[in-house]
Amino acid sequence: MEYKFSFELRVRFSETDAQQIVHNSKYLTYFEIGRVEYLRHLGVPYQQFRDKGYDFVLVVSHVEYKSPAVFDQLLRLQVRVEWLKRSSFQFNYTLADATKDFIVAEGYTIHATVDRTTLKPCHFPEDLCALVEKFEERPLRINS
């Protein structure tokens, strides 16, 4: 499926391990950066939802490592929302070398929408749902 949003990032030295490749934990950081940038691209910074009393908590993360990334490598991270349920949603990611176009890693994360104060599940914001579906140019809501 096509990705409508992507951006580039460069591997910093501090993200590499003793083998001089990106440490496996850093891929989840890249995915987090991707989620925040995706929302910013839609014109709704993440803090805006927190200010409205929502938060999104990570409940599942999955990464498949395809090829090592190394210091100073330019990467392209593609991000999309895969589906939306009443109070949960999934982001998908493809991380590739930006110049040679080979895949470095793929993955997904699943999040729950919660009340920022109580951390209890709540409905995914309808205005964000409509905005994401318009941007992705496809229906995303599934029943559950």
Q: Which residues participate in catalysis according to the annotation? A: 17
- Residues 38-65 as b or e (16 or more Cβ within 10 Å = b): bbeeeebebeebeeeebbbeeeeeebeb
Angle (nearest 5°) at CA 11 between 7 and 17: 145
Longest dimension (CA), the chain: 46
Length of the chain: 144
Amino acid occupying residue 72: D
Cα 144 to Cα 141: distance, rounded to the nearest angstrom? 10
Measured between alpha carbons, how far is residue 75 from residues 13, 36, 89 in Å? 14, 17, 25
